Amino acid sequence: MAKESLVKEHVDVVIVGAGPAGLTAALYASRANLKTVMIEQGLPGGEVNNTADVENYLGYPLISGPELAEKMYQSAMVFGVDHVMGQVTKIDIEGEAKLVYTSDKCFISKVLILATGCQHRKLGLDSEMRLNGKGVSYCAVCDGFFFRDKDLVVVGGGDSAVEEATYLTQFASKVTIIHRRDQLRAQKLLQDRAFNHPKIHFIWDSVVEEVVGDQAVEAVRIKSLKDQKDSLVPCQGVFIYIGLVPNTSLVTSLGICDEEGWIITNERMETSIPGVFAVGDVRQNTLRQIATAVGDGSRAGHQAYLYLQEMDANK
Closest CA to 283 of 244, 249, 246, 310: 246
Q: Per the residue annotation, which of 142, 182, 192, 230 is the catalytic one?
A: 142
Q: Quick one: which of 244, 251, 276, 279 contacts ligand NAP (CB under 6 A)? A: 244
CB of 83 to ligand NAP, least distance (A): 26
53-54 vs 63-64, strand pairing mode: antiparallel
Please indicate whether residue 143 is annotated as part of the active site. Answer: yes
Q: Quick one: which of 83, 105, 185, 221 contacts ligand NAP (CB under 6 A)? A: 185
By the rule CB under 6 A, 207 interacts with ligand NAP: yes
Which region among 140-148, 156-164, 219-227, 228-236 touches ligand NAP (by CB under 6 A)?
156-164
By the rule CB under 6 A, 160 interacts with ligand NAP: yes
How would DSSP label each residue in 5-74? GSEEEEEEEEEE--SHHHHHHHHHHHHTT--EEEEESS-TTGGGGG-SEE-SBTTBSSEEHHHHHHHHHH
By the rule CB under 6 A, 288 interacts with ligand NAP: yes
Q: Quick one: which of 40, 128, 151, 159 contacts ligand NAP (CB under 6 A)? A: 159
Q: Per the residue annotation, which of 53, 82, 92, 143 is the catalytic one?
A: 143
Three-state DSSP state, 291:
helix
Q: Quick one: which of 239, 241, 305, 307 contacts ligand NAP (CB under 6 A)? A: 241
Please indicate whether residue 192 is annotated as part of the active site. Answer: no
Q: Judge whether 237 and 153 are in contact, CB under 8 Å.
A: yes
By the rule CB under 6 A, 157 interacts with ligand NAP: yes
Q: Per the residue annotation, which of 53, 82, 139, 205 is the catalytic one?
A: 139
By the rule CB under 6 A, 242 interacts with ligand NAP: yes
User: Cα separation of 25 and 280, whole Å?
Assistant: 10
User: Cα separation of 156 and 7, whole Å?
Assistant: 46
CA 49 to chain centre: 10
CA–CA distances in Å: residue 266 to residues 94, 219, 285, 307: 22, 45, 11, 15
Provide the residue type at 57 as one letter: Y
CB of 155 to ligand NAP, least distance (A): 6
By the rule CB under 6 A, 156 interacts with ligand NAP: yes
Q: Which residues are catalytic?
A: 139, 142-143
Residues that bind ligand NAP (CB under 6 A): 56, 155-161, 163, 180-181, 185, 207, 241-244, 287-289
